[in-house]
Amino acid sequence: MDPSHTSQPKDDKYRTTQPPAETYPEHASRNNSNGNDQDVLERMKVREICEGWGMYRDAAEWRNYRSMFHDDAYIATSWKQGPIDDFIQASIDGFEKGSDFMYILHRINGQTVDLSHANNRAVSKMKVTITCRFTFEDGIEMDNEADCRFFFLLEKRSGKWGVVFYTLLFDKDTMVRVNPDRGIKMPSEEELKKFPAGYRYLCWCEEKVGSPPKMDLSSHGPERDVLYEKCRDWLQGKEVKPNLMGRDVVEY
């Protein structure tokens, strides 16, 4: 199948196409279509680790959350990028700010794991809905709900799996009134055009609370293919550095 062949209009803001064939990690074990029972056990270990993102972080179980990551792990979300310990501190600070910031929770919907035994590496892609509660003028609460895909790049060191890189791609988002009778004036379509299609309302909200959003996390932009290439390289044992979307290599 030719991934470039599609009848979707090029100006479709939710344009979704097959990733390029060259980004496919040919020799990885996945979904029990290849490999053996030991591979299944290793993939389940990886899955359990990655599901801790929502289970531990949302409950402020920071010791458990930190156990998911190797010490050199690098995190890139829409609102914060940096080493894992910096990200945890920013998350703690965000909870402390309460309604002056955003109340972030996660609904985990499922995931897949690609495993490379030869290189002791794995990539997990996890479907998640992020729900962020924002409090605007006069105490009006609105939820942003964003459907997205989490990407975890893991490595097994001294017999222990841990996350080395994490980032995400946004598919689409929306705004929901907490109280159906109380809402705010939403930005116009023209105002929203400056933000990536996959999370344009979230970007607008993050700007409102003083947290400029990272602007290259849309699953409908060129960053998707760059990220898939990085995932392939990771499984092949190659060096990978942030930014995982291909812009401005970060020294960390």
Each residue's pLDDT tens digit, 35-52: 788 899 999 999 999 999
Give per-residue pLDDT as tens, 225-236: 999 999 999 999
What percentage of the chain carries pLDDT values higher than 90?
86
Residue 13 has pLDDT above 90, yes or no: no
Q: What is the pLDDT of residues 50-62, one digit of tens each?
A: 999 999 999 999 9
Order of strands, sheet of 141-157, starting from the edge strand that comes earlier in the sequence: 29-30, 103-116, 121-135, 141-157, 160-177, 69-76, 81-83
Q: 119: helix, coil or strand?
A: coil
User: What tens digit of pLDDT does each residue of 69-91 get?
Assistant: 999 999 999 999 999 999 999 99
- The angle at the Cα of 65, spanning 60 to 66, to the nearest 5 degrees, equals 120
User: Hey, which residues does 143 pair with through a beta bridge?
Assistant: 133, 176
149 and 171 in contact (C-beta within 8 Å)? yes
Q: What average pLDDT does this structure show over 101-112?
A: 96
- What phi-psi label fits residue 35: left (phi over 0), alpha (psi between -120 and 50 degrees) or beta? left
